Amino acid sequence: MITTPEQLVQMNKAGFELAQTAAMMSMGGFEKFTALNIQAARTSLEESTEMVKTLLEVKDVKSLSDLSATSLQPAADKYASYAKHCYEIAQETGSELARLFEKQVADGNKQLFAALDALSRSAPAGSEGMVTLVKSAVSAANTAFDQVSRATKQAVEMTEANLAAATKGAVRPAKKAA
């Protein structure tokens, strides 16, 4: 509950700092994606150059066939590794932002309960039931938020496990084909 202009200024300052922190976290994730993509582009260019040189040295069809067979698996492995790195960067950045959001919700809840306590002390007689009802509603909303948060984390963990299993399953047949 805001009772002074200083509290309003503090609230706005905290909101600005939160937005700045979230923006810096997002920028950090963007920098990691950029570095990964620059490295991937550099590696791709170097490997393409080597492949063209190798292709120019091929003298017969058998050599070309052998070259084709040996170049497929490394490409599949590299793509899987790239996708895994992208996912890890996105997951890390998302987790940092989620922790920030959860902390903000917890801080907001503390402030809300403090305001409700102050309100209940200054409320007219007979309004205790209404204050209790509001506190119960806030507690129920917090419980629902916690349940949704836990369910989301479980879904992410299950998705990660399925992604890992699918990646292993896709890489094995490619190795056998090579």
pLDDT of residue 143: 85
Q: Confidence class of residue 93 from pLDDT cuts 50, 70 and 90?
A: very high
- Give me the number of domains the chain comprises: 1
* pLDDT tens column, 26-58: 999 999 999 999 999 999 999 889 888 888 888
For residue 120, which of 129, 131, 112 has the smallest C-alpha distance?
131
Cα 31 from Cα 15, distance rounded (Å): 24
**Full residue range of the structural domain in which residue 30 is found:** 5-177
| The two three-digit tokens of residue 48, written as one number | 């393409």
Q: Confidence class of residue 75 from pLDDT cuts 50, 70 and 90?
A: confident
| The two three-digit tokens of residue 153, written as one number | 């984390």
**Residue 66 in contact with residue 54, Cβ under 8 Å?**
no
* pTM of the entire predicted model: 0.67
Contacts 24+ apart (CB under 8 A), 67-74: 69/178, 70/178, 72/174, 72/177, 72/178, 73/174, 73/175, 73/177, 73/178
Residues 6+ away with beta carbon under 8 Å from 41: none
* pLDDT tens column, 141-172: 888 878 887 888 888 788 778 877 776 766 55
Cα 39 from Cα 46, distance rounded (Å): 11
Instruction: Kindly report the three-state secondary structure assignment for every residue of the chain.
Output: CCCCHHHHHHHHHHHHHHHHHHHHHHHHHHHHHHHHHHHHHHHHHHHHHHHHHHHHHCCCHHHHHHHHHHHHHHHHHHHHHHHHHHHHHHHHHHHHHHHHHHHHHHHHHHHHHHHHHHHHHHCCCCCHHHHHHHHHHHHHHHHHHHHHHHHHHHHHHHHHHHHHHHHHHHHHHHHHHC
Percent above pLDDT 70 for the chain: 92
**Residue 36 in contact with residue 82, Cβ under 8 Å?**
yes
